[in-house]
Amino acid sequence: MSAAPRRELHAAGRVLELGERPWLMGIVNATPDSFSDGRPGEGLAERVARARDLMAAGADIIDIGGESAITNQPPVPAAEELARVVPLVEAVAGELGAVVSIDTYKPEVAEAAIAAGAAIVNDVSGLRDPRMADVCARTGAALVIMHTAAPPKVRRQEPDLYGDVREQVERFLGARMDEAVQRGVAAPQIMLDPGPDFAKTPAQTIVLIREVARLHALGRPLLMALSRKDFIGAITGQPPSRRLAGTLAALDFAVRAGGHVFRLHDVAAARDFLAVAAALEDDGPVDGALALADELRHEPRPA
């Protein structure tokens, strides 16, 4: 089903072969105030269990974050963010053997997370602090560069912010990629994220995603973070917890546009959606032995 060009992503000694199929990135927020799945009182064991469940559901990468992107709360001090994410990264990368991405814009947090086992740095600031590139150059970790026109924790929703949002995102990502390479990051370590909703109105995000395939010209894999986004809520009129159908529609479009990695809360639903779509689109022979297990014919009756 994938329409993505084949790309390699070098990530702390690993080589991830992207493009043959969609890769799923499951989200584990080590925060009490996430906009869509904050879990006050949740501890390390519960978060490790959530990562394990995501892997069992089909997640190829686990993205761990210690600070919510919501803008009505102040930034989390680096020491607190480290306390939230480092033990979790150690457990998920070590005990579970997962490919871990650390969602942070703080170089000191990224460096500690890489030392704990993270292989990818997901920098949602758009390389606002160039020291992040230095960390990835030194460690060999992959670097996700996301487009945003606002500092972290700052909301910008300006209908006239961009002349052409598609052109400006492409130019921004190309320039930040060049800067990272100049600071020692190898091009195969870089993945790009167009940044849906970040410093973009829902209308600007839709315009951008419609032509996201133009970013293939930059030659790097694309991370599409579409799950439960505001633009989906604006279209459907649904709060974050009820945006699954809209998320799957966005996933379908982004796969067809050639996205490589898809950051999601609902990994199991995305896996099932992609499996059915792939089976129906395949023009090869259908396995005649395909059958439904008897125990799946009906919902189990309550005891």
Catalytic residues: 229, 263
Torsion of CA 150, 137, 219, 230, to 10 degrees: -30
* DSSP state letter for 302: P
Pick from 162, 121, 164: nearest CA to 145:
121
Sequence-separated (6 or more) residues with CB below 8 Å from residue 139: 12, 111, 114
**Nearest 5°: phi and psi at 206?**
-65, -45
Asked if 4 and 260 count as a contact pair (C-beta separation under 8 A), the reply is yes
Distance set, CA 131 to CA 200, 216, 245, 259 (Å)? 26, 26, 39, 27
- β-sheet bridge partners, residue 101: 63, 120
Give 60-127 as a DSSP string.
SEEEEESS---SSSPPPPHHHHHHHHHHHHIIIIIIS--EEEEE-S-HHHHHHHHHHT--EEEETTSS
- Decide: residue 43, CB within 10 A, 0-12 exposed, 13-18 middle, 19+ buried: exposed
Query: In terms of residues, how long is the chain?
Result: 303
Two structure tokens written together for 157? 């929703």
What angle, rounded to 10 degrees, do the helices at 165-182 and 202-210 form? Answer: 70
Two structure tokens written together for 226? 């579409």
Two structure tokens written together for 177? 């990629």
